[in-house]
Amino acid sequence: MALVKMKPLLEAAEKENRAVGAFSVGNMEMVMGAVRAAEETNTPIILQIAEKRLLSSPLELMAPMMVSAAQRAKVDIAVHLDHGLTIECVKAALSFGFTSVMMDCSLLPLEGNIEKTKEVAALAAETGATVEAELGVVGGNEGDTAEHKILCTDPAAASRFIRETGIDALAVAIGNAHGNYPVLPELRFDILEEIDRVTDVPLVLHGGTGITDDMFRRAISLGIRKINIATASFDALAKAAKAYGGGVDTPDYFALSAACAEAVYENVKRHILVFNNR
């Protein structure tokens, strides 16, 4: 098993009516926890990091670790740039061997989003990397304090967007948002169903933290093939570190590291089992 492109993982998920978990990572413990969960469940996953997160987890350090973990894993793993904000970052991720990239131009008008996404698709084509793009606006903001107001994806525009950009996967906005939801979101499954009807690429659900298992299953039944989980893993690690610190008189780095990896492993495994939809 190996480092693979994201596209075939999503195509296999389509055939088996399941979704692939895309787990955000920010340090070694997160990478180790996620890979262990994937190996134990014998399930391919995606390891990803968003450009904003590179402020605390530099690409030069994270990328070799993510790529190496994927290459050595007992299951197939794709390594993905989540919410790229600049062409420079997309280029850097590709040069480190990322097998998939997303540049988030969702705040641009449709024409601008199409133009920038085409630029990314041309770059990705040089290495054969998979391309994900977002249309509509997912709420919150991955790795930033700014809150984006949700704007649901227009199915007709989605069809045009995919045709003109040639992307491999489309991130939809159906009432989902990044971060912890203040109240359970009301996902617009009617819009998702229509997007799935008029498009032919795998669909991506961002803002997975806090979405219920039943909602995940319904989304999968309507064409969602990649589900992003970030906050739940970051929170699980932070809580484990806090619990560890409060539980011992003499803190030990190695025990702390193991507790952090374990917490991420538990969270990733829980989600993998739901996404496998068996």
Residues that bind ligand 13P (CB under 6 A): 24, 50, 82-83, 142, 178-179, 206-209, 228-232
Q: What's the angle, vertex CA 172, arms to CA 169 and CA 176, rounded to 5? A: 135
Decide: 33 and 261 in contact? Cβ < 8 Å. yes
Q: How far is the CB of 171 from ligand 13P (least distance, A)?
A: 8
Q: Which tokens in the block code for residue 262?
A: 């374990």
**Residue 104: CB minimum distance to ligand 13P, A:** 9
The CB-of-151 to ligand 13P minimum distance in angstroms stands at: 16
We find the least distance from the C-beta atom of residue 205 to ligand 13P, in angstroms, to be 8
Secondary structure (3-state) at 98: coil
Work out how close the CB of 32 gets to ligand 13P at its nearest, in angstroms, rounded to a whole number: 19
Could you tell me how far CA 271 lies from the centroid of its own chain?
13
- Taking the C-alpha atoms of residue 186 and residue 108, their distance in angstroms, rounded to an integer, is 25
The one catalytic residue in 82, 104, 168, 196 is 82
> Could you tell me the smallest distance in angstroms from the CB atom of residue 37 to ligand 13P?
16
Which of 164/179 has CB closer to ligand 13P? 179
Token code pair at residue 52? 């904003």
Q: How far apart are CA 38 and CA 77, in angstroms?
A: 9
CA–CA distance, 211 with 67 (Å, rounded to integer): 29
165 or 228: CB nearest ligand 13P: 228
Active site residue 214: no
**Closer of 155 and 185 to ligand 13P (Cβ):** 185
Q: Which is nearer to ligand 13P, 147 or 252 (CB)?
A: 147
Residue closest to 83 by CA, chosen among 126, 137, 156, 34: 137
List helix spans (H) across 73-109. 87-95
The dihedral through the CA atoms of 8, 9, 10, 14 has a sign that is positive
Query: Which CB sits closer to ligand 13P, 82 or 168?
Result: 82
Tell me whether residue 71 or residue 86 sits nearer to ligand 13P (CB atom). Answer: 86
Q: How far apart are CA 30 and CA 39, in angstroms?
A: 14
The dihedral sign for the CA sequence 198, 117, 174, 231: positive
Q: What are 121's two structure tokens?
A: 């698709």
| Pair 234, 209: CB distance under 8 Å | no
| Catalytic residue annotation | 82
